[in-house]
A and B are shown apart, each in its own frame.
Chain A
Amino acid sequence: MYGHMKLWAAMAMAAALAAAPSLSFAAEDVAKDLTKDLTAVIALLGLPCGQVVSATPRGKNDYNAVCKDGNRYRVYTNAQGRVVAEKQ
C-alpha cells in the first residue's frame, strides 16, 4: 500500500514537472500579446513610447504600461468606451 502511494506521488510530481514549462510559456505568450497590444494602442494615439516592456493590470481594461524609452502610461477604456492613454 505504501509502495503504491509512493508510486502515485512520483507520477504526480513528474506530471507537474512536465506541465510547468508549457504553463509558463503560455503565461509568457499572454504577457507578450498584452505588451504588443498596448504598444500598438499608444502608437495609434500618437504618443511616444517605442515599445511597451512591461504592463501591470490595475483593473478591468486598465493597465499601467512601461515603455522602453522610460515613458509610463495608464491605458484604459473610459466611460464613453474610448481607449485612453494617460501619461503618468
Chain B
Amino acid sequence: MTAARITALLFLAALAGCTAEQPSPQPGSVDEAEVPKPAPSPAAVAPVPPLQPAAPTVAPVPPLQPAAPAVVPVEVAPTAPPVERAAASPETPTVAPPAKVAIAPAPAPKPAGPPPLDIKALEQRLKDTSAIGVFTKLAVKNQVDDLLEQVRAMHQKRAKPSTAQIRQSYDLLIMKVLSLLQETDPTLARDIVASREPLWGMLADPVKFASIN
C-alpha cells in the first residue's frame, strides 16, 4: 500500500511539474515552440531572403538592391499574429548588418607611405647605418660618385652614355645597396625602394640635378 502511495505521489509531483512549466511566459521558449506550429506562408518566406543578400555583399555595387527586398518582409510581418512578429523582430538585426558592410568598403583610405628620400638624406642614412661596414660604405660611396659623374657628363653632353645606360647603372647600384641592407636594415631598404623613382627623377632632370650639386 505504501509503495502504491509513494508512486502515486511521485506521479502527482511529476504532473504538477509539467503543468507548472506550461504557463511560464518566457518569450524565447514560446517563440521557438510556436513558430513551427502556425507556419504561415508570409512569415516562413520572410526569414529565407535575408540569407540571399549575404552573397552579393562581395560585389560592392549590387548589395543596395537586395537590401530593399530584405526590408519588405519585415514590414509585412505586422499583418501576422504577435507571436510571429516577435519571431521576426530578432531577425531584423541580421538584415541590417549586410547593408552596413556593403557600404563600408567604398571609402577605404590608403595610409600614406614614407616621404621619398633625396640624395643628401640617403647619403646621411647610409653613413649612419650600422648594417654595413666601413669598407662597404666607402665602396658604395665610390660607386655613387661614379654614377653622379656619369649623369653630370650626360647633362653636359660631354660623354656618350645614354639615359637608358645610366638608368641601368642606377638600377644595378640600387640593387647592390638593397642586397646589402635588406637583411640588416630593412627600414632603410624599404625607404630606398620607395624613393627609387623620385631619386631617378632628380638625376634625370638637369635642373633638379644642378640644384643637388
Do these two chains interact?
yes
Q: Mark A74-85, 1 if CB is under 8 A from B, else 0.
A: 010100011100
Q: Is the interface of B mostly helix, strand, loop or mixed?
A: helix
Q: Which residues in B have their C-beta under 8 angstroms from that of A38?
A: 135
Q: A40-B180, A44-B143, A44-B176 are in contact. Are A75 and B135 (CB under 8 A)?
A: yes
Q: How far is the CA of A41 from the CA of B180 in the complex (A)?
A: 10
Q: Is B58 interfacial (CB-CB < 8 Å)? A: no
Residue A24 is within 8 A (CB to CB) of chain B in the complex: no
Which positions 50-68 of chain A face chain B at CB distance < 8 Å? 61
Q: Which residue of A lies closest to B140 (CB)?
A: A44
B176 touches A36 (CB 8 A): no
Asked whether B33 is an interface residue with its Cβ less than 8 Å from the other chain, the reply is no
Judge if B134 is at the interface, Cβ distance under 8 Å.
yes
CB-CB under 8 A for A34 and B138, given A40-B180, A44-B143, A44-B176: no
Is A28 located at the chain interface by the 8 A CB criterion?
no
Q: Which of B126-140 contact A (CB under 8 A)?
A: 132-136, 138-140
User: Could you tell me if A44 and B133 are in contact, using CB atoms closer than 8 angstroms?
Assistant: no
Check A83 against B139 for contact (C-beta < 8 Å).
Answer: yes
Which residues of B are found within 8 Å of A33, using beta-carbon distances?
Answer: 133
Chain B: CB-nearest residue to A61: B135
Contact (Cβ within 8 A) A44 B138: no
Which chain B residues border A44 with CB–CB below 8 Å?
136, 139-140, 143, 176, 180
> Are A45 and B139 within 8 A (Cβ)?
yes
**Of all chain B residues, which has the CB nearest A63?**
B135
B142 at the interface (CB under 8 A from A): yes
With A40-B180, A44-B176 known as contacts, the answer to whether A77 contacts B133 (CB < 8 A) is no
Instruction: Kindly list chain B residues whose C-beta atoms are within 8 Å of the C-beta of A82.
Output: 138, 142
Max chain B Cβ within 10 angstroms of own Cβ: one of A34, A41, A75:
A41
A33 vs B137: C-alpha distance when bound (angstroms): 13
A36 to B134, CA, bound (A): 11
Q: Across the interface, which residues of A come within 8 angstroms of B176, CB to CB?
A: 44
Of the residues B133, B142, B143, contact of A40 by C-beta under 8 Å: B133
Q: Which residues of A contact B132 (CB under 8 A)?
A: 37, 40
Nearest CB of B to A63, in Å: 8
Kindly supply a per-residue 1/0 record for chain B positions 109-123, scoring 1 wherever the CB is within 8 Å of any chain A CB and 0 otherwise.
Answer: 000000000000000
Q: Write 29 A-B pairs (CB below 8 A) sorted by A numbering.
A: A33-B133, A34-B133, A36-B133, A37-B132, A37-B135, A37-B136, A38-B135, A40-B132, A40-B133, A40-B135, A40-B139, A40-B180, A41-B135, A41-B136, A41-B139, A44-B136, A44-B140, A44-B143, A44-B176, A44-B180, A45-B139, A75-B135, A77-B135, A81-B142, A82-B138, A83-B135, A83-B138, A83-B139, A83-B142
A-B pairs with the 7 shortest C-beta distances? A37-B133, A83-B139, A40-B136, A41-B135, A44-B139, A37-B135, A83-B138
